[in-house]
Amino acid sequence: MNNILRFLGSVYFAITLIALTALFVIAGTFLESFADSHQYAASFTYENPIFTLLLGGFFINILLAALRRWPFKWKHTPFLITHLGLLMILSGVIVKNIWGLQGTLVIWEGSGSHDVFLSHSHMVEVLPRGQSEKKRYPIRNNRIGAPNMQIIASVPHAEEHLESWIKGDWLCISGFPKLRLNNEISKAIGKIGSFKIFAGRAEHPLEVAKQLLVEGPTLAFIQDPTGAVHYFARDAEDQVHTQDKWSKIVVYDNGFLGYYTQVTEPFNLESSLQHFFKPLTPLVKREENKPAIKLQIDDEQVVLGFDPTGEGLMWPTQSGKYLVRFQPELSSIPYHVRLRQARQVSYANTNQPFSYECDIVISNRNDGSAVEKTLSMNHVHETWDGYRFYLSGINPPSPGEVKRASIVVNKDPAKYLLTYPGAVILSMGIFGLFWIKWDDKGRPSLRGWGFRNNGRMPREQ
């Protein structure tokens, strides 16, 4: 046992740890430049359990190295101070990893929020019919903490497709029987009143529509290779009406009764909007993967794609009893942030971005006090209690559109208690190690400038 403790506190163990950590750091650098993805590199290195074990190894090594000097003497003071500083810094890292906050506020101009999307997290948000409060169920290790929900399948990356007028090989118009598409788009597949109906798939819908709409009254639904359906109509007065993709979506009962796409010219037609997912090979750049899950809710299954900003449609389930959405976990912070303006600052006389800025009002939710701040790429705002706000990006960058800003929020609860004081104590210890010598009676004195002992480093005390 003594030998094990001696090894764990030895310089050999320290060198082994340093060498292994250096290998991790080198691997992290190469992986990040190879994949252009911090998340990909981090999953193999800094977020890997082995890396956490290394940090634990450092903590044990430093602690035992210091305790091995027991019983302590005055001359051990700089050595102990140095090791105390290192232990405080390591403790700060551990505290930050467990109790720290790292997430993103996504805010539109004119709007505000205090709910931070937590990085690398997933949850299902549920809005029960007739209630205004959404329920949040975090997902951990592919398990969801809701009594009536179960994840029965998940894929790391999937592509979402929306279907409306053309579903499979059928033209579906609400209130009318389904019509089967034939192989020749030039042949009408049915009639609504005096209107002949054409439906089919084409690479260039507009070109095909020009051939079909030579005489009216005609309706044409043409699906392009991306799956989107384009609508064209020529009425009895030879007026031509078009609708591109999903230019009009109707929401019934706030979505609880589902979503419809609608055309209003020359008369009202609707088709229910449905979505399905095609699993894809996961991307190396993990930040761009869009996971999808299949949920069993009571006796019904629903497939949900990941909505990274939690702003997309919530989908009805259980015949409109609930609306559900798959999104990152949210954490409320004690500060409410209102976005006044986000803008791209360009180089003079060009559209090349020089910087991005945003004007925000940060209100303390506890005492109501507010401050106005401008964040930019290198200008961070930090509150007295350690919440830091960074501008991460704005979208769209064009000046005439209402913009959405992504503001990274970070809180390190150990920064002022452990990390920064640890760094100061470490510096003091290093100073003491190199510049203060202790005599046998424990009296300190300065070593003076320059090394003695023929230029050799001072011996470990």
Partner 1 sequence: MVFIFLVIGSLILTTLTAAKEAIFDRAGHPTYQAMIEKGWRRIDPTREENLEDTTKPICTLFLEGIKITIHNFPGEQRISPQAQVARWKNQLKNLDSANYRIEPVAWGGYAGLFFEGYGESAVLGWALSLPPNHCRLLDDPQARAEVTIKAIGTCAEIQKHREAIIAFATSFELREEIPHR
Return the range that interacts with partner 1 (CB under 8 A); candidates 7-15, 112-120, 153-161, 269-277. Answer: 112-120
Q: Are 236 and 217 in contact (CB under 8 A)?
A: yes
Residue from 290, 338, 381, 411 binding partner 1 (CB under 8 A): 338
* Interface with partner 1, residue 71, by CB under 8 A: no
* Interface with partner 1, residue 329, by CB under 8 A: no
* Interface with partner 1, residue 108, by CB under 8 A: yes
Nearer to partner 1 among residue 152 and residue 251 (C-beta): 251
Whole-number Å distance between alpha carbons of 130 and 153: 29
* Interface with partner 1, residue 115, by CB under 8 A: yes
Residue from 399, 424, 431, 434 binding partner 1 (CB under 8 A): 399
Q: 137: which residues sit within 8 A by CB, 6+ positions away?
A: 123, 124, 125, 126, 144, 145, 146, 149
Q: What length does the chain have?
A: 461
Site size toward partner 1 (CB under 8 A) is 19
Return the range that interacts with partner 1 (CB under 8 A); candidates 6-14, 41-49, 89-97, 336-344. Answer: 336-344
Residue 245 beta carbon to partner 1: minimum distance, rounded to whole angstroms: 16
Whole-number Å distance between alpha carbons of 185 and 199: 6
Residue 394 beta carbon to partner 1: minimum distance, rounded to whole angstroms: 11
Angle between helices 11-35 and 49-67 (to 10 degrees): 160
* Interface with partner 1, residue 46, by CB under 8 A: no
Residue from 340, 379, 447, 452 binding partner 1 (CB under 8 A): 340
Residue from 244, 298, 300, 311 binding partner 1 (CB under 8 A): 311
Structure-token pair, residue 199 = 């439906």
How does 71-109 read in b/e, with b if 16+ C-beta sit within 10 Å? eeeebbbbbbbbbbbbbbbbbbbebbeeebbbbbbbbeb
Residue bearing tokens 């320290």: 14
* Interface with partner 1, residue 401, by CB under 8 A: yes
Task: Give long-range contacts, CB 8 A cutoff, 24+ apart: 228-231.
Answer: 228/162, 229/164, 229/165, 229/166, 230/205, 230/206, 231/165, 231/263
Q: State the CB neighbour count (10 A cutoff) for residue 416.
A: 12
Return the range that interacts with partner 1 (CB under 8 A); candidates 60-68, 106-114, 131-139, 289-297. Answer: 106-114
* Interface with partner 1, residue 365, by CB under 8 A: no
* Interface with partner 1, residue 364, by CB under 8 A: no
Residue 147 beta carbon to partner 1: minimum distance, rounded to whole angstroms: 28
Nearer to partner 1 among residue 238 and residue 311 (C-beta): 311
Which residues in this chain contact partner 1 in the complex, by CB under 8 A? 107-113, 115, 311, 338, 340-341, 359, 398-403
